[in-house]
Amino acid sequence: MTTPPRYWTQEFVDALVAELNQNPKFQKTARSFRASVALRVLDTPDGLDATATYTIENGKVVNHTFETWKAGGEMRSIKFDKKKLLARTTASYGTWLKLDKGEINVAQALVSPDYKIEGSKLKIMRHIGVFTTMGDVAAGLPKSY
């Protein structure tokens, strides 16, 4: 029996991408979606900030990256590039845990002062199903915290 990956690590992000690319609901929801999004976490248990970037085309994640920085440092000053990303979210590790465990939903996160989203709100709302399904798939994956 293998140990499940820890949340907000490279191994977890890789497992999420593998699951998204074989998940019929995600593929259907994202079938007309063509964009890159970045999800950022502040203050992981490892003392890091991290960014997971996903490029999605027609229901598949065609590229993804995972980068880490020392918490409180350089990542927090990187400007949002709307030419490269449709959206970028930033939240604390604690807020991501609440989302993952179903203690709050995406709509509640969006109005929380602990969850920052950058990008065209109109475009983001048009594709909210893609983001919600990504979160649902992530929540269903075996993981440790």
Please write the tens of the pLDDT for every residue from 114-140.
Answer: 999 999 989 988 998 999 999 999 999
In a domain, 5, yes or no: no
In a domain, 1, yes or no: no
Give the pTM: 0.94
Distance CA 91, CA 97 (A): 10
**What is the overall mean pLDDT for the chain?**
95
In a domain, 4, yes or no: no
In a domain, 144, yes or no: no
CATH classification of the domain holding 19: 3.30.1050.10
Domain of 32 in residue numbering reads as 10-135
The tens digit of pLDDT for each residue in 37-79 reads 999 999 999 999 999 999 999 999 999 999 999 999 999 999 9
Over residues 86-98, mean pLDDT? 96
In a domain, 2, yes or no: no
